[in-house]
Amino acid sequence: MTDVKHQLFEQFAIVAKALGHVHRLDLLDYLAQGERGVDGLARATGLSVANASQHLQNLRRAGLITSQKRGLQVFYQLAGEDVVGLLGALRHTTERHVAEVDRIVAGYFNARDSLEPVSRAELLKRSHEGLVTVLDVRPSEEFQAGHIPGAVNLPLKDLEKRLKDLPKDQEIIAYCRGPYCVLSFEAVAALRNKGYTAHRLEEGYPEWRASGLPVEATK
C-alpha cells in the first residue's frame, strides 16, 4: 500500500544522500565540465585516489554518473544533463533559503561582482552582432572537452602573459565552470585592471550545455 511510496522515497534518499557531501559535489562539478579518469579527478579535487574512487562509486550507485573502461583508465561521466539541472535546483533553493550563502558570497564576491553579470541570452545577442570576445578561462583540458562555440581559451594562470592575444577594442565576456567558479571573477577583475571592458557570464559551461545550446569540442 503505502509501502510503495517508501520504496520509492528510499531511492530518492539514496540520490540525495549522494549529493550530501562536499567532495562528491566537487567531483560532480568537475565531471560537469566533461568526462575524466579517476586519477585526474583525484588530482583536481585533491583527494587520494582510493577516496575519490569510493566517492565515485557512491555516485555511480546512486545513478548520477556512469563509467566505462577505455584502455588502462576508467572514465566517469555525468549520467545525463538532467543531473546539471538537479544541481542547479539544489543551488537555487540553497541560495534562496540559507542566509549563510549571502554571507559567504557577500564576503568574497561582492567587491568584484559590483558589475552585473551577462545572461546566456544576452551573450548570444551580442556575439551575433560580432562585437564581443567570449573568453573561456578554464584549464585547457576542460576547454578541449567542450566549450562555447567561438570561445577563446586562455586559462586564468596564463592570462597575464598572454594578454596580447586579446583584442583591446572589443568587450570581453568571461566564463568558467559555474556560477560560483572563481576563475571568471578573477579574470574579469584582472582584465579591468588592464583597461579592458570585461564582464562575467552569469553561469558556466555546464549550464550552457545543459540548456541545449550548441557546444564545440577540440578533437
Partner DNA sequence: CTAGTAATCAATTATTCGCTTGAATACTAG
Partner DNA sequence: CTAGTATTCAAGCGAATAATTGATTACTAG
Q: Which cell numbers hold the place of 14?
A: 539514496
Cβ of residue 105: shortest distance to a second copy, in angstroms? 7
Minimum CB distance to DNA smaller for 69 or for 97: 69
Q: What are phi and psi of 78, to 5 degrees?
A: -60, 145
CA 185 to chain centre: 13
Cβ neighbour number for residue 11 with a 10 Å cutoff: 12
Q: Give the bridge partners for 118, in sequence order.
A: 201
Query: Which of DNA, a second copy, none is residue 58 near (CB under 5 to 8 Å by kind)?
Result: DNA
Rounded to a whole number of angstroms, the minimum distance from the CB of residue 70 to DNA is 8
Selected binder of DNA within 8, 16, 17, 167 (CB under 7 A): 17
What letter represents residue 9's amino acid? F
70 three-class SS:
strand
Residue 73 binds to DNA (criterion: CB under 7 A)? yes
Q: How far apart are CA 47 and CA 27, in angstroms?
A: 10
Q: Which range touches DNA (CB under 7 A), out of 66-74, 81-89, 95-103, 136-144?
A: 66-74
Q: Which residues bind DNA (CB under 7 A)?
A: 17, 20-21, 23, 37-39, 47-51, 53-58, 67, 69, 71-75
